[in-house]
Amino acid sequence: MTKIIKTVGEWKLLRKTFLAGEKSVGFVPTMGALHKGHESLIKKCIEQNDISVVSIFVNPTQFNDPNDFRNYPKVFEKDLETLENNRVNFLFYPEYSEIYSDNYNYRIVENSFSKLLCGEFRPGHFEGVLTIVMKLLNIISPDRAYFGEKDYQQFKLIEQMCKAFFLDVEIIPCPTIREEDGLAMSSRNLLLTDEERKVAAQFPNRLMSNKEPSEIKNELEQLGFKVDYITDLEQRRFGAVHLGKVRLIDNVQL
């Protein structure tokens, strides 16, 4: 049975006592609404470590759109069932006040890569991401932490942050898990209407084509997508689009 931990103090005491010594700790930070993509990270975490920890915390500081934060899917009972079915040892499930007792006065800022791609269209997003991940890594103190390559820019920023601040944790990337029609699994997919969901598969389909980014952008716009960017960078093609009220991101290796 997965044990739920709600406070920093309770976890830190556990980490220093029961989990001290030779037990390796793996960590998967999430915002809940768990899907098979999350499960792939969890399975790898369990496989590579003695103890598995998953966090669920819908982090408000990374949402530049308040409506996006309010509408983010919350299905705690279903998530807990997923964790227990996968035999996760611990769920860290804190309140906002537990994580942001400083009221977000202190934050992590990266001044280069975070300004590109999603950073250009979501001001403040990566400050929120890097700050919450730094807090969670300091709290959980894992040997390894797992992040999906669907959010490749996020993964690289977190990896670089850990190197810059000499954090003693190994950041493990995990491949993007896709639906049968190619759409990258995401909690936000739950917010698509049935009609939008049918159209959504055209996004990865076009992204994986051999066409130029400008041509892909034009094709997606004709299909009804609002395109933030389609960009080739460092042997990867990155894309971000809006379909209805939902923003989707993806990337593929060139």
By CB atoms closer than 10 A (0-12, 13-18, 19+), residue 234 is exposed
Residue 4, helix vs strand vs coil: strand
Whole-number CA gyration radius for the chain: 18
Q: Which letter does DSSP use for residue 110 in this model?
A: -
Q: Is 242 considered catalytic here?
A: no
Cα angle value 85/171/169 (rounded, 5°): 100
- Six-digit token string for 127: 């400050």
Cα angle value 143/147/149 (rounded, 5°): 145
Within 10 Å of residue 228's Cβ, how many Cβ atoms? 20
Q: Which letter does DSSP use for residue 60 in this model?
A: G
Element (H, E) at 94: none
Q: Among 35, 38, 125, 242, which one carries the catalytic annotation?
A: 38
* Backbone angles phi and psi of 158, in degrees to 5: -65, -45
Q: Which residues are catalytic?
A: 38
